[in-house]
């Protein structure tokens, strides 16, 4: 297969076309809550910051927002809120599920706080948005909802691992286009460390056989996985749903209830490509590598995975535990001389396992033989506020107090001809942009 010289232009084109663009004409000289701040909060914040939702305070009215003004300034300046931990200085910046604020929106909030947080004319305050139920699906109303049996987690005890089974209720093969795992209720979200969903074959007695085919992973704060329009994942008819869970106690007895929502292509329809998701680039080249994180130190680890076919990457999601702070995804191309590009880097917060679903037009394209290089940093010092005990060495393991480091990568394979055609289309788009 020919490795075109315009390989690097693929990601360069993506970067040029997807730099953050302000949605505001300018930062107002004297912003007020009524005319400038409320619209930002209503668009990007109150989905969570409202009564009955997961955020610790409501930010709908001026009276609710004013006491938190300084804190809001800090959170948006550092881009801790809305949760979106992608490093905006590096790589592709165009994603299907990006909730982050523009630079102008952040500057408006900062100026409003620095000016004393004025309310402005109450009559100019827009009407707060109407929301669906607090536990509504991110993928719209699913075509299929699988409700797994509840598991009672005691108020105290060791981490709990196991499997729960439920019925898909499908007799025929269907192809998944989007999928979401959601713990039901605030306490369920707190006890579910992670949950992996599989489709497993059944024997003649209807019992599940084997580990099954992997469908999707859930961890704290993860959003739905949304596939490109020309791809899907096969869910075989007659299979059973298996939920492989990791639960931990939170000081009160809690029922862990987990649901799986799925949308499909129309019956009888097959996608052009099969979309996969897997743990890749684990530390030391393994899915869960041998991590060595000394007490009081920041440790770096590296993992590598070779892609044997040309591919389009559709999703990047860093995965670590409490000590994880930062991760980068680099592509090392099979060229002479060797060429490598950092696609994305992201900060990491254990409470928000953010998955970054690339826009179709800017998703990374890679030739066969490309190596995915995942670099992970863990902070075992007292400066890491999530660190429970900076005086202890930490290594690899499944428990919450252990560590791991890999990237969840979504992708689909391409033929060499498809890869070359898509690369040519991107080059043409680049030329139009240059002109």
pLDDT of residue 14: 37
Report how far residue 281's alpha carbon sits from residue 209's, in angstroms, rounded to the nearest whole number. Answer: 29
> Quick one: average pLDDT of 126-134?
80
> Which structure tokens are listed for 136?
């509504």
- Residue 415 domain-assigned? yes
pLDDT tens by residue, 406-423: 999 999 999 999 999 999
Identify which of 1-15, 129-143, 262-276 has the greatest average pLDDT: 262-276
Nearest to 386 by CA among 299, 324, 296: 324
- Residue 70 domain-assigned? yes
Helix runs in 45-155, H state only: 62-65, 69-77, 103-114
pLDDT of residue 11: 43
- Residue 433 domain-assigned? no
Tell me: do 259 and 297 sit in the same domain: no
Q: Is the pLDDT of residue 283 over 70?
A: yes
> Quick one: average pLDDT of 66-78?
95
> Quick one: average pLDDT of 116-125?
95
> Quick one: average pLDDT of 127-142?
83
CB 128 within 8 A of CB 62: no
Q: How many CA atoms lie within 13 A of 431 on its CB side?
A: 7
pLDDT of residue 23: 41
pLDDT of residue 17: 36
Phi, psi of 20, deg, nearest 5: -60, 130
Report how far residue 200's alpha carbon sits from residue 203's, in angstroms, rounded to the nearest whole number. Answer: 10
Domain boundary among 212, 244, 271: 271
Q: How many CA atoms lie within 13 A of 196 on its CB side?
A: 15
pLDDT tens by residue, 299-353: 999 999 999 999 999 999 999 999 999 999 999 999 989 899 999 999 999 888 8
Tell me: do 280 and 360 sit in the same domain: yes
CB 197 within 8 A of CB 260: yes
Model confidence at 189, pLDDT cuts 50, 70, 90, reads confident
Domain boundary among 271, 297, 330: 271
pLDDT tens by residue, 343-389: 999 999 988 888 899 998 899 999 999 999 999 999 999 999 889 89
Q: Is the pLDDT of residue 2 over 60?
A: no
Phi, psi of 12, deg, nearest 5: -60, -45
> Which structure tokens are listed for 161?
């691992």
- For the chain, the distance separating the N- and C-terminal CA atoms, rounded to the nearest angstrom, is 30
Report how far residue 331's alpha carbon sits from residue 378's, in angstroms, rounded to the nearest whole number. Answer: 22
> Quick one: average pLDDT of 232-244?
94
Nearest to 53 by CA among 106, 115, 132: 132
Percent of the chain with pLDDT over 70: 90
CATH number, domain of 204, equals 2.60.120.310
CB 216 within 8 A of CB 197: yes
More confident residue, 310 or 226: 310
* One-letter-per-residue 3-state SS of 308-327: CCEEEEEEEEEECCCCEEEE
pLDDT of residue 5: 37
Find the range with the poorest average confidence among 186-195, 249-258, 339-348: 186-195
Model confidence at 15, pLDDT cuts 50, 70, 90, reads very low
Tell me: do 246 and 293 sit in the same domain: no
- Residue 1 domain-assigned? no
Tell me: do 416 and 293 sit in the same domain: yes
pLDDT of residue 130: 84
Q: Is 106 helix (H, G, I), strand (E, B) or coil?
A: helix
Q: Is the pLDDT of residue 214 over 70?
A: yes
Q: Is the pLDDT of residue 246 over 70?
A: yes
Report how far residue 16's alpha carbon sits from residue 8's, in angstroms, rounded to the nearest whole number. Answer: 12
Q: Give the DSSP letter of residue 34.
A: I
Find the range with the poorest average confidence among 50-64, 149-163, 265-279: 50-64
Tell me: do 333 and 378 sit in the same domain: yes
> Quick one: average pLDDT of 206-216?
77
Tell me: do 312 and 417 sit in the same domain: yes
Those residues with Cβ within 8 angstroms of residue 213's Cβ, 6 or more apart along the chain or in another chain:
198, 199, 200, 234, 236, 239
Number of domains in the chain: 3
Report how far residue 364's alpha carbon sits from residue 382's, in angstroms, rounded to the nearest whole number. Answer: 37
- Residue 139 domain-assigned? no
Report how far residue 423's alpha carbon sits from residue 429's, in angstroms, rounded to the nearest whole number. Answer: 10
pLDDT of residue 185: 79
Nearest to 318 by CA among 307, 303, 306: 303
Tell me: do 288 and 316 sit in the same domain: yes
On average, the pLDDT of the chain sits at 88
Residue 178's domain comprises 144-271
Report how far residue 243's alpha carbon sits from residue 167's, in angstroms, rounded to the nearest whole number. Answer: 11
pLDDT of residue 350: 86
pLDDT of residue 284: 56
Model confidence at 204, pLDDT cuts 50, 70, 90, reads low
Tell me: do 390 and 255 sit in the same domain: no
Q: Is the pLDDT of residue 8 over 70?
A: no
Q: Is the pLDDT of residue 7 over 80?
A: no
Q: Is the pLDDT of residue 285 over 50?
A: no
Tell me: do 117 and 170 sit in the same domain: no
Tell me: do 115 and 153 sit in the same domain: no
Residues pairing with 377 in the sheet: 300, 326
Domain boundary among 271, 292, 318: 271
- Residue 309 domain-assigned? yes
More confident residue, 202 or 75: 75
Tell me: do 284 and 225 sit in the same domain: no
Q: Is the pLDDT of residue 279 over 80?
A: yes
pLDDT of residue 351: 84
Q: Is 314 helix (H, G, I), strand (E, B) or coil?
A: strand
Tell me: do 290 and 419 sit in the same domain: yes
pLDDT of residue 207: 64
């Amino acid at each position: 297969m020919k490795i075109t010289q315009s390989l690097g232009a693929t990601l360069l084109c993506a970067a040029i076309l997807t730099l953050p663009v302000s949605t505001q004409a300018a930062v107002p000289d004297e912003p007020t809550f009524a005319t400038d701040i409320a619209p930002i909060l209503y668009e990007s914040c109150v989905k969570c910051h409202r009564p009955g939702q997961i955020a610790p305070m409501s930010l709908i009215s001026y009276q609710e927002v004013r006491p938190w003004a300084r804190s809001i300034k800090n959170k948006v300046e550092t881009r801790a809120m809305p949760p979106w931990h992608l490093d905006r200085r590096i790589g592709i910046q165009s994603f299907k599920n990006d909730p982050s604020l523009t630079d102008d929106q952040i500057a408006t909030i900062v100026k409003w706080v620095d000016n004393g947080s004025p309310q402005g004319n109450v009559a100019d305050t827009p009407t707060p948005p109407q929301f669906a139920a607090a536990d509504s699906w991110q993928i719209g109303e699913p075509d299929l909802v699988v409700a797994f049996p509840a598991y009672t987690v005691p108020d105290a005890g060791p981490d709990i691992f196991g499997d729960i089974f439920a019925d898909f209720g499908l007799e025929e093969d269907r192809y998944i286009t989007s999928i979401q795992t959601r713990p039901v209720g605030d306490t369920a979200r707190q006890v579910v460390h992670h949950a992996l969903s599989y489709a497993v074959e059944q024997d003649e007695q209807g019992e599940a056989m084997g580990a099954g085919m992997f469908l999707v992973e859930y961890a704290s704060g993860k959003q739905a996985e949304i596939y490109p329009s020309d791809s899907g994942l096969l869910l075989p008819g007659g299979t059973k749903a298996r939920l492989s869970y990791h639960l931990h106690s939170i000081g009160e007895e809690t029922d862990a209830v987990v649901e799986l929502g799925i949308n499909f292509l129309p019956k009888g329809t097959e996608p052009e490509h099969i979309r996969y998701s897997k743990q890749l680039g684990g530390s030391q080249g393994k899915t869960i590598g041998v991590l060595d994180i000394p007490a009081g130190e920041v440790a770096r680890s590296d993992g590598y995975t070779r892609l044997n076919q040309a591919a389009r990457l559709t999703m990047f999601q860093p995965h670590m535990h409490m000590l994880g702070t930062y991760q980068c995804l680099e592509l090392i191309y099979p060229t002479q001389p060797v060429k490598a590009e950092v696609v994305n880097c992201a900060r990491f917060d254990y409470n928000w396992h953010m998955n970054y679903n690339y826009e179709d037009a800017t998703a990374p394209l890679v030739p066969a033989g490309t190596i995915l290089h995942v670099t992970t940093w863990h902070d075992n010092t007292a400066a890491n506020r999530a660190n429970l005990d900076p005086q202890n060495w930490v290594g690899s393991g499944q428990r919450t107090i252990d560590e791991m480091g890999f990237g969840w990568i979504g992708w689909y394979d391409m033929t060499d001809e498809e890869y070359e055609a898509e690369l040519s289309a991107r080059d043409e788009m680049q030329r139009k942009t240059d002109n």
